Amino acid sequence: MKLLLCKSCLDVLKLHEKTRFCYCGESGGRLTDSQGRRAVIWGENAETIGIANSSIVEAISENKEREESGFPTDHQGLPYGSSIDGWIIPSTSPAVIKEKEVTIGRDLYDENHKP
């Protein structure tokens, strides 16, 4: 799974084949294939986060088991859940093309953020 992170507004959203923009509109992107392996993102402050889909499934399952056996707790005694595998996709990765400026879909952002 690929997520778009905007370092300006700290919005995080899942990339789809349809162009999406962050809350502030500085960053945007979309998947360029239906399998979600490749994407294009726009904006000086746009980053892409990769999350291993299998780790999400495993973490949900592990959390379910812990509901019965008890969750581990942090130093304040608060329970914490299972971890997932995530990383910032490097700028040199061929899986994500980064452009500095929004070149496609600006009209979609404007359309969806009318006052």
Q: Give the interface with Zn ion as residue ranges (CB under 5 A).
A: 6, 8-9, 22, 24, 26-27
CB of 34 to Zn ion, least distance (A): 26
Query: Is residue 19 within 8 Å of 5, Cβ to Cβ?
Result: no
Query: Is residue 66 within 8 Å of 10, Cβ to Cβ?
Result: no
Query: Is residue 71 within 8 Å of 16, Cβ to Cβ?
Result: no
Give me the sign of the Cα torsion angle 63, 69, 72, 73: positive
- Of 27 and 50, CB closest to Zn ion: 27
- Of 26 and 47, CB closest to Zn ion: 26
* CA distances in angstroms from 115 to 9, 13, 64, 98, 110, listed in the order given: 19, 21, 42, 29, 10
CB of 24 to Zn ion, least distance (A): 3
- Of 59 and 108, CB closest to Zn ion: 108
CB of 21 to Zn ion, least distance (A): 8
CB of 115 to Zn ion, least distance (A): 18
